[in-house]
Amino acid sequence: MAAAFALILEDYRADFPAQLQHMPRAIHILLSACMKESRAVDVFNPDLIALPQGSNFIGGRRVIGRGQAIPVRRPSDGRVYADLDSVDDAQLGEAVEDAQRAYKSSGWAQTDPRGRMRVLRRWADLIEADMETLAPLEALGSTRMIHEIRAWDVSYTAETVRFFAEWADKIGGEVAATTPDKLGLTIHEPYGVVAAIAPWNLPLVMAAWKIAPAIAAGNSIVLKPSEMTPFSIVRLAELAIEAGLPAGIFNIVQGDGRSVGDPLVRRPEVAKVTFTGSTATGAAIMTACAQTGPKPVTLELGGKSPQIIFADAGLDKASAIVARAITLNAGQVCVAGSRLLVQEGVADQVIDCIMTAFAAHKAGPTWASDSTLGPIISEGQLDRIDGIVQRAVADGAQVLTGGSRATAPQDGSFFLPTLLQNAAQHSEAVQGEIFGPVLTVQTFTDEMEAYALANDSAYGLAAGVHTSDLTRALRATRTLEAGTVWVNRYGRSNDFILPTGGFKQSGIGKDLGREAYVANLKTKVALIEF
């Protein structure tokens, strides 16, 4: 019986997270318990994953960095599993110069658009076919669980490449309205060398958001992954060469932000910068681009996203969505729904549902089939999360569930799903991005109070609204100060046409959608007189 229930849950997870958010809570808990009973096995042995020499990718091949070695730990068990060979200053310069040379001489930007499209389609096919290499490599040192990577991350990465491939011949110039004796044209051209800095929380997916539109538009790119999750991205670059991408169009440099990230965005050859990460780092990058350019930037930064549950919502479904939105990737998602605003009168019922959902999670390593709560990326981040929670408690907040580190089979970095009540509106727990599985809960009496609480934040990345009133839902989408508003759901779908990006301190510009492709093109004007 348990094995049968486990198979059913796998079918739901294959379309994650859409199916799980609609599953009745009792069935979800039962199936999760069966998973724990029947599938407590390792999907792969982390000690047997081979890491080829050379963590950088320059000129179409792996290159061993000459910079300072950086120890890389597995957050699931705390073990140092590799020493990252970062680039030195000279190699960083070689990577950027190689990207500029490839942009000018490889013919990639001048290739007919459908030719670029065909290369990118082959690349996407190779990514999907490489599942058994990419998935364990991604799970090995990240916070992403192997079953989630297989069900979503790899295929989503491939689909991102396919989506932007299709834009290669869809954006042209325009003929302007001029006097009859003149011909005015607007012409779109690639920038040249694009510098990208990708985060650690979804390494493959976030890198694809940066790489795919830039390359599809005809640019070359130099990418710096996070030094905490550096390896799976290099495999992507190898597959790109196999697909036919010219050498030098996609280069990867490894290292930390101070020694590699900052000098990368300051290089004079870099014409545009795209970054996903913290608001503080985004501000530093924007400053560097102003000082050395100016050059355009796309920044997807921090979030402190509210989820509003009105009394007329389907409460079981809404509660499951809220719980999932803060425990996905252990809360280490920029759009994590970290503030619950629930209408008085239904708060107790919603809180009970969420606490039950939190209790059903099992912390465990990313390679274990029965893990449902992944690790925190580092001990430093774990200490930071714990500190925020403890300071909130000292300031009068109550921990309804969780509130401490979680135990797991290995000596990894785990934090229990946590529900905080009565945290002060001005407190760090309510206002700051925690980037962990910590949900604050506040109540409201009417609609306008809900929106006022939701908008009382320096961030504006995303928001969720749960209601059966269509008119109210439409008002919410107009009133909430967020780049994305989800109604009766929370989280992105596979609708790549919908751009993503935030307001206020959550960033500038958009990833995904037509907007991301156009952001990698500059506009030239031609005026021809007859």
Per-residue pLDDT at 36: 43
Indicate the burial class of 125 (C-beta count within 10 angstroms; 0-12, 13-18, 19 or more). Answer: middle
Per-residue pLDDT at 40: 56
Compute the distance between CA of residue 117 and CA of residue 341 in angstroms, rounded to an integer: 45
Cα separations in angstroms, 178 against 116, 171, 181, 522, 529 = 33, 21, 8, 21, 10
The yes/no answer on whether domain 46-301+506-529 falls in CATH 3.40.50.1110 is no
Write down the catalytic residue from 159, 300, 379, 447. Answer: 300
pTM for the model stands at 0.91
Compute the distance between CA of residue 303 and CA of residue 118 in angstroms, rounded to an integer: 36
- Which of the residues in the chain have pLDDT under 70? 1-40
Strands (E), 243-388: 250-252, 270-276, 297-300, 305-309, 337-343
Per-residue pLDDT at 141: 96
Strands (E), 172-259: 174-176, 182-190, 193-197, 220-224, 250-252
Per-residue pLDDT at 379: 96
Q: Is residue 447 annotated as a catalytic residue, yes or no?
A: no
The yes/no answer on whether domain 303-494 falls in CATH 2.40.70.10 is no
Q: Where are the domains of the chain?
A: 46-301+506-529, 303-494
Closest CA relative to residue 498, chosen from 486, 481, 489: 486
